């Protein structure tokens, strides 16, 4: 393989991974807020971010739950939808998120769990189709917000995002998550605009059934 061909392939690959990231970042810029500046929405969607070996939330996930509870306590939202993975025995992200939120003073009656939020795409898709959410605040870190905001809006959930960066993350942690976003964002754009995969669904479980019934 010649140097010119290798360089051309490198440029193409770089563009394929970085352009989607730039597109979503630009789209999300005006839709990203802090807890103080966040607009009022009926629901905050909290995305899963992994569990420790003992089944408790990682630091990244704890920050997301803390931010969502703060939004609730400040009257910015009235319900929390905690969406995560529960495919495997002894791995239950939504329940771990719920338990931590309860420790922070969140009332259980205003917590809704989505056990099939395996990916950001699935969470956004199910938020609309299963839980009847039309607009929401998305709670996650700045490295994830562009993809989350873009995906949810493209799937029909009018969304803004609130950054959940409270802890001091190690450089290696930030590097991992930011590198992960490159292929994940490319995949998100392909799925939203081209392949349209259908996640695990089921019977509707509207968060606000009285509104749905009208």
Reading the chain (214 residues) residue by residue, the pLDDT tens digits are 675 555 455 455 565 667 788 899 999 999 999 999 999 999 999 999 889 988 899 999 999 999 999 999 999 999 999 999 988 878 899 999 999 999 999 999 999 999 999 999 999 999 999 999 999 999 999 999 999 999 999 999 999 999 998 766 766 677 777 788 889 999 999 999 999 999 999 899 999 886 544 4
Rounded Cα–Cα distance for residues 68 and 79 (Å): 9
**pLDDT at residue 48 in the model:** 93
**pLDDT at residue 212 in the model:** 47
Rounded Cα–Cα distance for residues 149 and 46 (Å): 12
Helix H or strand E encompassing 5: helix 3-29
The residue ranges of every structural domain in the chain are 28-202
Show the CA angle centred on residue 75, arms to residues 29 and 80, nearest 5°.
75
Tokens of 160: 């803004």
pTM above 0.75, yes or no: yes
**pLDDT at residue 13 in the model:** 56
Domain covering 28-202 in this structure, CATH number: 3.40.50.620
What phi-psi label fits residue 189: left (phi over 0), alpha (psi between -120 and 50 degrees) or beta? alpha
In the block, which residue shows the tokens 């959410």?
133
Rounded Cα–Cα distance for residues 184 and 198 (Å): 17
């Amino acid at each position: 393989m010649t140097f010119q061909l290798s360089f051309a392939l490198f440029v193409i690959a770089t563009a394929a991974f970085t352009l989607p990231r730039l597109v979503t970042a630009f789209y999300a810029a005006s839709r990203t807020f802090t807890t103080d500046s966040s607009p009022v929405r009926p629901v905050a969607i909290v995305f899963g971010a992994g569990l420790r070996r003992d089944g408790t939330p990682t630091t990244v996930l704890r920050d997301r739950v803390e931010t969502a509870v703060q939004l609730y306590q400040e009257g910015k939202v009235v319900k929390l939808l905690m969406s995560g993975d529960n495919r495997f025995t002894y791995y239950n992200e939504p329940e771990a998120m719920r338990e931590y939120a309860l420790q922070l003073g969140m009332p259980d009656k205003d917590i809704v769990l989505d056990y099939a939020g395996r990916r950001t795409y699935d969470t956004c898709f199910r938020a609309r189709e299963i839980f009847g959410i039309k607009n929401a605040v998305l709670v996650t870190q700045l490295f994830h917000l562009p993809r989350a905001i873009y995906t949810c809006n493209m799937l029909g959930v009018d969304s803004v995002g609130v950054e959940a960066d409270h802890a001091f993350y190690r450089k290696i942690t930030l590097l991992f998550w930011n590198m992960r976003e490159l292929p994940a964002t490319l995949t998100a754009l392909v799925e939203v605009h081209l392949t349209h995969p259908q996640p695990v669904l089921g019977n509707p479980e509207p968060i606000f059934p009285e509104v749905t019934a009208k």
